[in-house]
Amino acid sequence: MGKTWKHIAILSAIAVFLTLIGFPLFYPVPSPPVNEVKYALTALSLAEKNESETFSGELYTEAKAYYDSAIISWQKENKKSRYSRDYNKVVMFAGLSAQKANQASENSRNSSSNLDVKIRQKLNSLNNLVTDLTEMFSDYPLTQEIRNHISKGKFLLIESELAYKENQYKLADEKLQESENLLTSSYEKAFSNIRNYFRSYPEWKRLIDSTITVSKETRDYSIIVDKYSRKVFVYLDGEKIDEYSAELGKNWVGDKRVRGDKATPEGMYKITKKFESDSTKYYKALLLDYPNNEDTANFEAAVAKGTLPKSAKIGEMIEIHGNGGKGADWTSGCIALTDREMDSIFKIAKIGTTVTIVGSMNDLKRVLNR
């Protein structure tokens, strides 16, 4: 009987030993989902590279959340005994993370491509706008505020171009929006200003026609100053025979209103005096009869209406003179020519010669289509 129990004990020990040896064969340790998590991480990295946080923020946020859930679940399972671990949730969360990340990448690539086209189009459009602003208003006396806005708009445009070249589309687009707002508003204000100024063209045209008629009827010289084009035209017998480049008062847009406003007047005038080199600091000069009767009447009416203060004084001493060629408007209201051109006009001018000053010899449509 004792031998029987001994045999049973031995057989039991052998059975337990065989069970322990065979258990791993029938109940293997669950393998950690390394590949699944690694794939999700790769998909997230690609999404980040494609700027998904910017272009597909919601999907990208979901992908990151699922990835975090996968890592947390993995850590929880690793705290359990090897044989009781279950990585199904880890695999599920990793799969969802990869799915959302891939969707975010695809959406971002499409959005980025569309933004690329949008930015290129807007860059071209704004560069053309800058060209128009430069051509139309580089010599036009705009307000300092408008000038500052144009300068800032140009600077932002350059910054946008640099960001675009570095594939920073979102930053480039933001800079473009700021630039566009500044440049378009500046253009609208500047164009409104010039449009209002050219409403005087019918009066300018009347003065131009009268001046050419005087030249034709008297078979003598007449002079027309075109402020917008910075030109002085000389007519003889009603025909243009010469032209010179001119420099004007700093605030030449519009008529001269008061002394010291640095505006070049508009109207039909006569030469009243000729100053040789020893009588003027501007080489030579032709004095005009500004203010004439019309200028005086307009000035007095403005004071009476209160649009000019009672302390205001009317301007005087408007001349065509030398010392020009500086490349900018610098006079206090006079018309400046180079000394060589002053010599030419000084020879043909005489006391009583008509000098007409207008905003432009062309209407706004012709000016803009040049």
Cα separation, 41 vs 36, whole angstroms? 9
Per residue in 307-339, pLDDT (tens digit) is 999 999 999 999 999 999 999 999 999 999 999
**Residue 106 maps to a domain:** yes
Same domain flag for 211 and 359: yes
Q: What is the average per-residue pLDDT within 84-88?
A: 88
Same domain flag for 159 and 270: no
How many CB atoms neighbour CB 254 within 10 A?
Answer: 18
User: What is the phi/psi pair of residue 285, to 5°?
Assistant: -150, 150
**Residue 19 maps to a domain:** no
Q: Which structure tokens are listed for 24?
A: 């791993």
Those residues with Cβ within 8 angstroms of residue 234's Cβ, 6 or more apart along the chain or in another chain: 221, 222, 223, 240, 241, 242, 243, 244, 345, 348
Cα separation, 241 vs 224, whole angstroms? 12
Per residue in 10-53, pLDDT (tens digit) is 555 555 554 555 545 555 778 888 888 888 889 889 888 877 88
Of the three residues 198, 220, 239, the one that is the final residue of a domain is: 198
Query: In which domain, by residue range, is 61 found?
Result: 31-110
Per residue in 99-137, pLDDT (tens digit) is 988 888 888 777 777 778 788 888 999 999 999 888 888
Cα separation, 89 vs 366, whole angstroms? 75
Same domain flag for 132 and 161: yes
Q: How many domains is the chain partitioned into structurally?
A: 3
Same domain flag for 175 and 211: no
b/e code 169-207 from CB counts within 10 Å (16+ = b): bbbbbebbebbbebbeebbeebbebbeebbebbeebeeb
**How high is the pLDDT of residue 23?**
46
**Residue 21 maps to a domain:** no
Those residues with Cβ within 8 angstroms of residue 219's Cβ, 6 or more apart along the chain or in another chain: 236, 237
**Residue 119 maps to a domain:** no
Of the three residues 198, 218, 243, the one that is the final residue of a domain is: 198
Per-chain mean pLDDT for the chain: 89
CB–CB of 216/193 below 8 Å? no
DSSP strands (E only) in the chain: 221-226, 231-236, 239-245, 267-275, 285-288, 319-321, 335-336, 354-358
Same domain flag for 301 and 239: yes
Same domain flag for 339 and 211: yes
**Residue 222 maps to a domain:** yes
Q: What is the DSSP letter of 29?
A: P
Q: What is the DSSP letter of 20?
A: H
Cα separation, 277 vs 286, whole angstroms? 11
CB–CB of 254/197 below 8 Å? yes
Of the three residues 110, 143, 168, the one that is the final residue of a domain is: 110
Per residue in 151-200, pLDDT (tens digit) is 999 999 999 999 999 988 889 999 999 999 999 999 999 999 999 999 99
Same domain flag for 248 and 331: yes
DSSP strands (E only) in 114-167: none
